[in-house]
């Protein structure tokens, strides 16, 4: 699967004593800041490999623009500032980014850091009066997720979660078909999400920073996919964990989890989340009158799929480009997306993840 996991590098999170470094030399191109209301002006927090992908995709956005940077690595601030023409006054480190409160150039901050940092960073951004876009999973558990939702509500800012698949056209085609009854009564969903993880020292295998293992990173795609494909919220989960390498996957860091979900209508889902098996990126939705199969289903694309009516056809545009333009419309225009991307949506996934881990622990069904 070609995805975020394959590209991210280890993120430097230590910032104590780091100065703000952004050269004022001619490295910086002249920057024209769009007026508020027309373009969403975004500061990127965490300048790792996925942030690089987001930034490159945003270069062709119609309504979203990078205007600020937040990083714990001074050299990245210098390099990114030069590439994207970001002025020194819009560059921050993790110690001083609360000062964005006084920066009228920035409308929103896109948090692309390890999961364990999301809660505190989101709350700080909200207190600074800026909208928050946070990568998924939104937190390491539902308790933290709820704190994030509450903080953003209290501050009067929006909290959006980086669910890029919620804007992907072939995915939306399948969701529309289901809503229109073209599959008939939904009976079954299968989600397979996995890849072979590499570097054992990376933050994804650190319980404190990741909050878990494969379930937090890749399994969330099958959880979220089951919800928008079936069109219901699960009422129970069961789960079983398999760990073949306890040295690499230490306590609290799951290698492989098979999990099942039941829905009010009687539909069931059978899913797999793993860091041990490659090339797993498949959704299958089965109804009495038809089916949809997508493979790859959540990779960077192009997404490939078919239904009982034939191949799914739609132009492929970088997911992050579409996501950021759509999020601009949500924040600036109040647009309501077909599949929500708000904090409450992220919180629903966190509650299910918590239940899956609980089901593994007690080896029994957990009611939601």
Sign, CA torsion 232/237/243/249:
positive
Q: Which residues, 6+ apart, have CB-to-CB distance to 116 below 8 Å?
A: 140, 208, 209, 210, 211
The rounded Cα 23 to chain-centroid distance in angstroms is: 32
* Catalytic residue (one of 94, 163, 221, 300): 221
Cβ atoms of 257 and 218 within 8 Å: the answer is no
First CA to last CA across the chain, in angstroms? 31
Residue 254 Cα distances to 193, 197, 205, 246, 354, angstroms = 14, 12, 9, 9, 13
**Tokens coding 186:** 């939904």
358 is catalytic: no
Apex CA 226: angle with CA 243 and CA 207, to 5°?
A: 35
DSSP one-letter string for 83-116: HHT--GGGEE-TTTGGGGGG-TT--EEEE-S-GG
Count of residues in the chain = 368
Grouping H, G, I as helix, E, B as strand and the rest as coil, residue 50 is: helix
Which residue in this structure is represented by tokens 């309504």?
A: 63
**Residue 10 annotated among the catalytic residues of the structure:** no
Alpha-carbon span 22 to 124, nearest angstrom: 22
Catalytic residue among 119, 136, 158, 348: 136
Q: Catalytic site residues?
A: 136, 221
């Amino acid at each position: 699967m070609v995805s975020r996991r394959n590209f991210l590098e280890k993120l430097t999170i230590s910032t104590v004593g780091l100065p703000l470094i952004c050269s004022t030399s001619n490295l910086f191109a002249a920057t024209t800041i769009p007026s508020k209301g027309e373009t969403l002006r975004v500061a990127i927090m965490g300048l790792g490999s996925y942030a690089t992908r987001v930034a490159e995709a945003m270069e062709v956005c119609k309504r979203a623009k990078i205007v600020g940077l937040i990083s714990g690595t001074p050299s990245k601030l210098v390099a990114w500032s030069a590439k994207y023409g970001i002025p020194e006054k819009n560059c921050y480190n993790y110690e001083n980014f609360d000062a964005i409160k006084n920066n009228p150039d920035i409308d929103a901050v896109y948090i692309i850091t390890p999961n364990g940092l999301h809660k505190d960073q989101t709350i700080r951004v909200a207190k600074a009066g800026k909208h928050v876009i946070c990568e998924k999973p939104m937190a390491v558990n539902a308790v933290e997720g709820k704190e994030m939702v509450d903080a953003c509500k209290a501050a009067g800012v929006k909290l959006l979660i980086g669910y890029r698949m919620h804007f992907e056209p072939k995915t939306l085609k399948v969701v529309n078909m289901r809503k229109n009854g073209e599959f008939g009564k939904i009976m079954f969903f299968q989600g397979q999400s996995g890849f072979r993880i590499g570097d054992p020292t990376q933050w994804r295998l650190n319980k404190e920073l990741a909050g878990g293992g494969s379930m937090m990173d890749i399994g969330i795609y099958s959880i979220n996919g089951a919800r928008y494909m079936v069109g219901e919220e699960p009422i129970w989960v069961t789960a079983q964990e398999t760990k073949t390498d306890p040295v690499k996957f230490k306590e609290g860091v799951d290698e492989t989890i098979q999990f099942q979900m039941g829905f009010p209508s009687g539909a069931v889902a059978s899913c797999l989340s793993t860091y041990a098996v490659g090339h797993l990126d498949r959704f299958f939705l089965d109804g009495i009158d038809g089916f949809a199969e997508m493979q790859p289903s959540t990779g960077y694309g192009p997404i490939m799929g078919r239904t009982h009516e034939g191949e799914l056809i739609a132009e492929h545009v970088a997911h992050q480009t579409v996501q950021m333009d759509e999020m601009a419309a949500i924040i600036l225009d109040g647009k309501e997306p077909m599949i929500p991307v708000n904090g409450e949506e992220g919180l629903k996934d966190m509650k299910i993840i918590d239940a899956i881990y609980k089901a593994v622990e007690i080896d029994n069904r957990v009611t939601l």
